[in-house]
Structure 1
Amino acid sequence: MATAVVSGRVDEQVKARAEAFIRAAGLSTGDVIRVVWEHIARTGEVPDVGDAAERLDAARDPMERLGELRASFGACEDLIHLDDAQMRDMIASRYA
Structure 2
Amino acid sequence: MPIALLITFETSQAEHVLTQLRAYKEREFDRNPPRGFLTASLGEDDGKVVFRSEWENDEALENARDSAPFEACLDLCDIYADDRNDEKIEIG
TM over 0.5: no
Name the TM-score, length of structure 1 as normaliser. Answer: 0.25
> Hey, which of these two has a bigger chunk of helix by percent?
1
Q: Which has the larger radius of gyration?
A: 1
Name the TM-score, length of structure 2 as normaliser. Answer: 0.26
Higher relative contact order (CA 8 A, sep 6+): 2
